[in-house]
Homo-oligomer: A and B are copies of this chain.
Amino acid sequence: MPVILTQNAYGKSKVRLTKVTRRPDRHDLVEWSVDIQLEGDFAAAYADGDNRLVVATDTMKNTVYALARDIDLASPENFALRLSEHFLAKYPQVSTAAIAIHEQAWQRIDVDGQPHPHAFIGSGPERRVCRVARTRSGPHLRAGIEGMIVLKTANSAFRNFHHDEFRTLPDTDDRIMATEVSAEWPYESTSVDGNACFDLIRRTLLKTFAEHKSLGVQHTLYAMGEAALAACSAIDEISLTMPNRHRLPINLAPFNRTNPNEIFVATDEPHGLISGTFRRQ
């Protein structure tokens, strides 16, 4: 039976890279997980098992480590751009090289008030992310955050939403808002200072989340997107996804106690999921 292969891609995921840069006064530590996906002239491997043009995914892994030795890992953006360039330059059969890097952040251990020069403590589930999709026409660069867990105990209402026979949730003027922010934005230019932009956008998202007088998750998500675009001129677009990690007030009336918005249960399932993409006008 004749079939058409309308899309194909392959690569290596979760190549874990640690690099230590040993400076006179301190060590710098980078830990990344690198994903590679190639597209191109690979149909023969699928249809006929002809692997002659196939760059083994094991070879891709080797390439990550070899280039990590050659290149200063100043930012994930820089390395993703260089790595994608390598795959297109070296392999004419490749039409697109997509790279994703997830960064595990480490903080220096505080010893007697001083950051230690070579000892680190792991931070949480939050990951800095960058993505490059490079074709023969050039690269597209995106960056973002995953897993930034935040919660606020004031300035969060949700009221006057649609009412019908399936609604049981009451209006509330003062609820806990908890979420795990994912954000992603394209950079217009690949010569952007990725580290400075990331820090600025992250700081802006956190500040806006903290200070916003929220009328709903959508409302706060909008404020955060708007603030990020206002803060960072290197981006014209940002997408945000925020699950609603509910903290439900406990009914203590059966136990002859009031609950003045004080005792809650956290639930993981089910959860709301709200997203939006914003562009500078």
Contacts and interface: CB of A to CB of B under 8 A. Distances in A.
Interface of A: 1-22, 27, 29, 31, 35, 37, 42, 45-59, 61-63, 65-66, 68-70, 90-91, 106, 109-112, 116-125, 148-155, 158-162, 164-169, 176, 206-207, 209-211, 214-219, 221-222, 225-226, 229-230, 237, 239, 243-244, 247, 250, 252, 254-259, 261-281
A66 B218 contact: no
Nearest to A220: B49
Contacts of A167: 56, 58-59, 62
28 contacts: A3-B226, A10-B218, A13-B243, A15-B270, A17-B263, A17-B264, A18-B266, A20-B176, A20-B261, A22-B262, A48-B215, A48-B219, A49-B214, A52-B161, A54-B216, A54-B218, A57-B270, A59-B164, A59-B168, A65-B252, A65-B255, A69-B262, A70-B257, A109-B209, A111-B210, A111-B211, A119-B152, A120-B150
Nearest to A160: B51
A66 B116 contact: no
Contacts of A265: 16-18, 65
Given A51-B160, A56-B169, A252-B65, A278 B6 contact: yes
Given A218-B46, A277-B6, A279-B4, A119 B59 contact: no
A41 to B, nearest CB: 11
A255 B65 CA distance: 10
